[in-house]
Structures are given as structure tokens and as C-alpha cells.
Chains A and B, each alone.
Chain A
Amino acid sequence: EVQLVESGGGLVQPAGSLRLSCAASRFAFVSYEMNWVRQAPGKGLEWLSSISSSGATIYYADSVKGRFTISRDNAKNSLYLQMNSLRAEDTAVYYCARTRIAAFDYWGQGTLVTVSS
């Protein structure tokens, strides 16, 4: 079955940076759009960014535009999220997810990012 495994979360100070990774397996990663979604403690889901299968097309939510950068390495079956200028309100569980027919059909288990001094 499709597997998505996030890593790279942890505790970071305000204004710091962190890079999340999502390792994909058991499907043709190169053929799918991929996404990052987060969920702050006790809150709802927030879409952050999407990247096309080739990496040529990228979209961001306004809340992270200019601070976060999505990228992918199709040779390594990996998705990334570079997060800069982190704020307390970026504290959340971060999920990667695959797009199929305009929906997110597979999700990772999530990685927790805590922004605190």
C-alpha cells in the first residue's frame, strides 16, 4: 500500500528554520502532485502548499507565502518543506498528502513542529 512518512519536526525557536521531509513509497511518486497540510493543536486542517508532479507548478497559502518553500526530488521519491522565519502560530502537526482526482487520497502520519523559546 502507498506509504508516506514525514520527518524533520521538532522544537525550534521563533525566527528559526526547519526542513521537513516526506518519504514516499509503493507508488509512482513522479506521477503525482504532492501537498503539505498542517493542523495546529485543537484546530482544523490548513492547506499550505502543493507541487505538481514535475515540480514546475507550485502554489502556496497566503499564510506561508514567502516563508515556506515546497520542493521535491523525484529521483529520491521525496517531498520537502523548507520553513523559515517560524512563528509561534506555526506550531502544528504537519502532514504530507498525495493528490488523486482533485483530492488528497493518502496522508502521512504527521510530524510535530513546535515553535517556542
Chain B
Amino acid sequence: DIQMTQSPFTLSASVGDSVNITCRASQSISSWLAWYQQKPGKAPKLLIYKASFLDGGVPLRFSGSGSGTEFTLTISSLQPDDFATYYCQQYNSYSRTFGQGTKVEIK
């Protein structure tokens, strides 16, 4: 199975900061990567699909990049509503595994 490794596990940042979260796949997944945001007690919310396409209604301060095995989620100018846990997910022929998550905390 394809393993997904996110870094860092936690990230402390301030409102207005730009932050990057990295996700690495154990083998190439082309661009079949999604990013989700989850807040406590809520279902995850899709932010980005196919590595770099913003889902509808997602603020433009979110962006995704990468292909193959290395991917990045960037949040430019962090807002109070952005403090949450973020997950990457790969989608291939036989599995759809998630990374372990990155918690973005207020500094």
C-alpha cells in the first residue's frame, strides 16, 4: 500500500503568517492528491483536489503544489478560521490513504 507522510506534525503560527505543510508519498501518485481541513468534532472539508485545484468556495489563500511523490499545501496570510488539522490523501487504483495529519496551532 502507498504510505503518506506529512510534516510537520504540529505547526505553531500567528495570524498573517504564511505556512507550508508537506506530504510525501511512498511511490509516485502523479497528481492524485487531495488536502482536507478538519476542526474538532466536525467532518473533514475538502480544500484541494488533484494536487492544485481549489474546491468550490475555498479561499484563495489556500494553494497546493507538487506531483509524483512530494506535495505542499500553502496557506498564505493565516486567518483565525484556519487553525485546524490538515490531512493529505492519495487516490490510486487500490487505496485512498491519508497522511497522519498536521495540526496548525496559534502561536
Contacts and interface: CB of A to CB of B under 8 A. Distances in A.
Give the residue among A44, A100, A105 with the most B Cβ atoms within 10 A: A44
Given A103-B46, A107-B43, A35 B96 contact: yes
Nearest to B93: A59
Contacts of B46: 103-105
A45 interface: yes
Interface string A75-114: 0000000000000000000010001111111011110000
A56 to B, nearest CB: 14
B94 A95 contact: no
Given A102-B50, A103-B49, A103-B89, A47 B44 contact: no
Nearest to B49: A103
Nearest to A98: B46
B96 A107 contact: no
A104 to B, nearest CB: 6
Given A45-B44, A47-B89, A108-B43, A103 B98 contact: no
Interface in B17-63: 32, 34, 36, 38, 43-46, 49-50, 53, 55
Given A104-B44, A109-B43, A61 B95 contact: yes
Given A35-B96, A44-B98, A47-B96, A103 B91 contact: yes
Given A44-B101, A47-B95, A47-B96, A95 B43 contact: yes
> Which of B95, B96, B97 gathers most chain A CB within 10 Å?
B96
Interface of B: 1, 32, 34, 36, 38, 43-46, 49-50, 53, 55, 85, 87, 89, 91, 94-101
Interface of A: 35, 37, 44-47, 50, 59, 61-62, 95, 99-105, 107-110
